[in-house]
Amino acid sequence: MRFPLLTLALTGAGLASFAATPELAEPHLSVLPRTEAERARIAGVTAPPGDFTQPEAFETNPAGAATVRARTTPDAFSQPSGNIAFERELDFKVGNGLFKKLWVSSPSSTLASDGLGPVFNARSCQRCHLKDGRGHPPDGPEDDAISMFLRISVPAAPEAEISRIEAFLLSLGDAAPRTRPDPTYGGQLQDFAVAGHRAEYRLGLRYDEIEVALSDGETAWLRQPSYSAEDLGYGPLAEGAMLSPRVAPPMIGLGLLEAIPAADILALEDPEDADGDGISGRAQIVWSFEHDRPMLGRFGWKAGAPTVREQSASAFAGDIGISSPLFPAPWGDCAAGQPACQRAPHGDGDARQFEIDAAGLDLVTFYSRNLAVPARRDVGDNQVLRGKRMFHESGCAACHTPKFVTHRLQGQPEQSFQLIWPMTDLLLHDMGEGLADNRPEGRATGREWRTAPLWGIGLTEQVNGHSQFLHDGRARSLLEAVLWHGGEAQAARDAVATMPKADRDALIRYLESL
């Protein structure tokens, strides 16, 4: 097991105290303290399994009481929490309507829906998170990149003012790489624009095939992608610009991930690998624009957002160009190098005050928090149980932590005190050169990624019609996704590549049951 945060010299007493007080770690949640008896029970139910001949208690329900039955349709990720009260379902449905809303450009007679862009990646949340599931890279030259985009940043100039999060991290002795948005293109590249404006770019993508030898005479092929920003609409990128591809991640279980105590996540940190297991995960710490303080990052491929509400508001601004109380700029991600974009008509001038107001943002947040995780399938199947054993014995569970118990919460009964199985520690890990995007983000280096939750991963093809995984969709199967792992996960990856084929097949069967 990795050492508790309080024993780690690297992170220091400042970060330890940051984690120690739940009301400071999660200022947006109304948290009730745990009793000693509850702590003992939690330690028991979240302990690693010792018996792989039968399922563990409650393993069928990865989201606790919020779990829903596994549907056999593409709507499997679009259900409300299984324990949601009838009177709260209306908020979920209204939030769903806003999630699906197609925004239009300003000025428009449709005052409640104008403000799109001027540059954007999609006209609605649902366009990227199709069926609330996983995006994919474009499939050939005729397919657009509607659920994928390129993040962009540049190294901060030596004379650039130190940001609040940089100052906080420096106070802990953490000299994270300093970056800034591109002065012309902002923090991400948008491939669509409203009438009268140019799109910022077109995504260029090509693949090279890599052959990988496996045990028992098997061979796998991996796609090595290369990305470029083509047809730039506003001149060249800034010197030193760093690009990182991102596909839209699935939306299920976000409220439960938000409800995991920060102290429980931080207790899994081991940046110096003090226990010698080869795993040295560390927390992403970000500045909360809503709460004006540092918080644990949880959401996004590099854990760049601390809460579901902030992640939602950031996506409205960056992906659609919609202002909100958290990100009030009506031109979205347009940077100072695009003055015409910043001067364009926008939708802030009516009773809403912002293009999506606080009430609308709260409804989208409620919807996003309550997209339910489907029940596991075939948990008692002998091959699935064998695969579960391989998952643990090969070391996958060292980062894909199976179980947590959420905070006891006031006002959020759906997420309160649930035993959940998200299969993630929500920490940053060095994933090796093969998966490196070479673009730092906050504390994350260009080789680090947040451990992705695995719940629901076996239903990807059913929901989204494809089986493409990882941050850029390069893996065409779960096995390919495993084989791309490197860095801290290299030993686990090698164990999978060299284990008998029957064990490898069982491991994949286990992942498909999640």
- The CA-based dihedral angle spanning residues 330, 187, 129, 358, taken in that order and rounded to the nearest 10 degrees: -30
Read off the tokens for 91. 């908020």
pTM, full prediction: 0.94
pLDDT of residue 6: 26
pLDDT of residue 443: 94
pLDDT of residue 283: 96
What's the Rg (C-alpha) of the chain? 22
The answer to whether residues 290 and 310 touch, using CB atoms and an 8 Å cutoff, is: yes
- Among 33, 103, 475, which Cα is nearest to 322's? 103
Read off the tokens for 311. 């992640």
C-alpha span between 373 and 78 (Å, rounded): 9
C-alpha span between 498 and 289 (Å, rounded): 46
The answer to whether residues 119 and 341 touch, using CB atoms and an 8 Å cutoff, is: yes
The answer to whether residues 384 and 55 touch, using CB atoms and an 8 Å cutoff, is: no
- Among 279, 273, 281, which Cα is nearest to 428's? 281
pLDDT in tens, the chain (514 residues): 332 332 233 344 445 545 544 445 789 999 999 999 999 999 999 999 999 999 999 999 999 999 999 999 999 999 999 999 999 999 999 999 999 999 999 988 888 899 999 999 999 999 999 999 999 999 877 677 789 999 999 999 999 999 999 999 998 888 888 999 999 999 999 999 999 999 999 999 999 999 999 999 999 999 999 999 999 999 999 999 999 999 999 999 999 999 999 999 999 999 888 989 999 999 999 999 999 999 999 999 999 999 999 999 999 999 999 999 999 999 999 999 999 999 999 988 777 789 999 999 999 999 999 999 999 999 999 999 999 999 999 999 999 999 999 999 999 999 999 999 999 999 999 999 999 999 999 999 999 999 999 999 999 999 999 999 999 999 999 999 999 999 999 999 999 999 999 999 999 999 999 9
C-alpha span between 495 and 474 (Å, rounded): 21
Can you spell out the DSSP letters for 292-323?
Answer: TEEEE--BSTT--BSSHHHHHHHHIIIII---
Alpha helices in 220-303 (DSSP H): 254-258, 262-266
pLDDT of residue 351: 72
C-alpha span between 154 and 439 (Å, rounded): 9
C-alpha span between 322 and 106 (Å, rounded): 11
Report the amino acid identity of residue 347.
G
- Looking only at Cα atoms, what is the longest distance across the chain? 67
Burial 196-229 (b: 16+ CB within 10 A, else e): ebebbbebebeeeeeeeebeeeeebebbeeebeb
- SS3 state at 138: coil
Q: Where are the domains of the chain?
A: 5-513
The answer to whether residues 70 and 76 touch, using CB atoms and an 8 Å cutoff, is: yes
